[in-house]
Structure 1
């Protein structure tokens, strides 16, 4: 497709969308805008965009598609401001926010002017941030939720999907309120739980400092998302207050039930509680990308001698298998490896596992 795309916000998501659009539509003009001029220059140097925006207000006049890739609170302000600007009636406007109900209410300002606004949420991310972490493959096989305004016709939705076809994502259309309930359950609520776990350990750390050193294995994996950007999560939480309040009340009821099981000392009931959770989780399609960024980790049991890490990374490099993180596990709980390697995709992890298994004597584990 030919045309002009304006991307507002050149972070991980905006940058990755730019790369995906460029890959599929090399003849398109992609104008990027970010309040941080260094990010704009970096995006241009990385070929994420074809042009840096000089005047966003002027650039949107000629846009065929406008992508608002900013935090949800900032997106609200942008919509309010841009709805007073001159925008082509043929332009499609979308966002990437993790909440949709308030965004769609604000976007009524566009529909009153006859403009097409289609809410969007690509359910993929990374532990890294900024345009330097952008990848064209970030959204592959991820769910990309769309919440079009009722006044938007199917042709506009199809056009948006065509522009975003380079993401290789799976598009689903949902109601804004349903979107916020679903993502509240599988993304926003888990973040609060993860943060509360860290707070509990922080309090216990005052009595027993060793706890922070031993918080490995399961605790590390459960609490990892608590390291995400607090400003972003403050805004997401404020946008989804009603859903999160109800989920937390239900969580308190669930924990009260667990306390009852402990008080009763009913070993059979406690076993059933764990067994039902295991069975349900084992049947979930968790290998698909979801609302919480996935970490495809591989654990390798290696001997402690100089050069062993470079030996393994060298093997992966020769097979052109990219890794995003590598660390030595100083404390091992339920994990038999000492070297932890993180990959961008499940396919990369499978290739890495095959490479290390066939070319070294080391044992490899996935947990």
Structure 2
């Protein structure tokens, strides 16, 4: 019977706990969180078996320790637990979205003690937070990246961790911490910077023209959604992945100069090719796999904007027991089909909603 300590009982830690319990029901899971109410909720929801108020009281009997907190706090926790008595052959892992700095720290702290540290990054999330939003299937079909320490990790220990996390039904991928941070920088960290920059640009021009904000309510608001992410989390990610991002900044300046030069000389063929190549690459991206940025499962419905139309649609979905996470009327619709946008928790719910609406109404539906 294995014993696991989860430090951090939010969405990620809670979902990992549920996935472990689903696959290994006899595993004892201890849970620690700075917020007492999160621990109480986690136990009530059967995410954990026992609440832990002092990590050092149980960590010495645990076979696995999962540090499920943001990257800055993860460093602090790793420092903290390195001072405790640890079980022989214990495996410690984290869930942070940057890996090089944390893996290097763990190697320095644990190498002489024979402790195995395996960096982890489950590339899935939700637009909801907290342990109440935890789901055992949150990571299903998502990529779960492992970045083992170069010093103490072996294939056997990595296999043991994968077995523990088998219930996530994630696609496990192993790579170096350095490779992980560069890939995450390209597909997640830098796009968040760009989204925030676009919003800053709009904010700047809004001071000159008050129409900016109302007209940005459509497509602009959608393509900059990720700019609404947690500022503290992104501050820490950017500081942790600084060297990679500095490199990507330079590449981005060169990319912007390239398209700027096409516009400056009026080279229509080059501009066309620029957008065509981008379209071809984007259209070739996998549609049904989870990536580094949580997907938005939106369905646009082309309905007339009249009183009662929302209740008509929601009534149809309610009859089929299809849950929605958000719904709103879109006023500015350039390049967006449909006046009503409905958001769902997953692809399956969106597909069922599309079939339900099209079967019972004459309204056209479109994927976002």
Judging changes above 3 Å, is the alpha-carbon distance between structure 1 residues 137 and 310 closer, same or farther for their aligned structure 2 residues? farther
Aligned pairs (5 A) from 1:17-36: 17-36=16-35
Aligned pairs (5 A) from 1:103-118: 103-108=102-107, 109-118=109-118
Cα distance, 1:331 vs structure 2: 2.1
Contact 1:300 1:339 in 2 (8 A): yes
Contact 2:91 2:115 in 1 (8 A): yes
Aligned pairs (5 A) from 1:236-275: 236-275=237-276
Cα distance, 1:235 vs structure 2: 0.4
C-alpha distance after superposition, 1:133-167 (max 9, x if no partner): 22222111100000111321212111111111111
Moved more, 147-156 or 193-202: 147-156
| Distance in 1 of aligned mates of 2:328 and 2:208 | 29
| Distance in 2 of aligned mates of 1:336 and 1:202 | 26
Cα distance, 1:239 vs structure 2: 0.3
Give structure 2 stretches of 5+ with no counterpart.
Answer: none
Contact 1:127 1:228 in 2 (8 A): no
Q: Give the secondary structure class of the aligned counterpart of 1:112.
A: helix
Residue of structure 2 in register with 1:278 after alignment: 279
Contact 2:219 2:336 in 1 (8 A): no
| Distance in 2 of aligned mates of 1:336 and 1:365 | 7
| Distance in 2 of aligned mates of 1:44 and 1:309 | 38
| Distance in 2 of aligned mates of 1:253 and 1:245 | 13
Aligned pairs (5 A) from 1:183-202: 183-202=184-203
Residue of structure 1 in register with 2:228 after alignment: 227
Cα distance, 1:286 vs structure 2: 4.2
Aligned pairs (5 A) from 1:88-167: 88-108=87-107, 109-150=109-150, 151-167=152-168
Q: CA RMSD in A?
A: 1.4
Contact 1:111 1:117 in 2 (8 A): no
C-alpha distance after superposition, 1:40-59 (max 9, x if no partner): 11212222212111221112
Moved more, 12-21 or 116-125: 12-21
Moved more, 336-345 or 311-320: 311-320
Runs of 4+ in 1 over 4 A off after TM superposition: none
| Distance in 2 of aligned mates of 1:362 and 1:286 | 24
**Number of residue pairs the alignment of both structures matches:** 366
TM-score by length of 2: 0.96
Contact 2:218 2:330 in 1 (8 A): no
Cα distance, 1:313 vs structure 2: 2.3
Q: Give the secondary structure class of the aligned counterpart of 1:18.
A: helix
| Distance in 1 of aligned mates of 2:259 and 2:327 | 37
Contact 1:142 1:288 in 2 (8 A): yes
Aligned pairs (5 A) from 1:344-359: 344-359=345-360
| Distance in 1 of aligned mates of 2:72 and 2:179 | 20
Residue of structure 1 in register with 2:321 after alignment: 320
| Distance in 1 of aligned mates of 2:174 and 2:340 | 41
Residue of structure 1 in register with 2:365 after alignment: 364
| Distance in 1 of aligned mates of 2:118 and 2:263 | 49
| Distance in 2 of aligned mates of 1:322 and 1:161 | 32
Q: Give the secondary structure class of the aligned counterpart of 2:224.
A: helix
Contact 1:300 1:362 in 2 (8 A): yes
| Distance in 1 of aligned mates of 2:198 and 2:235 | 17
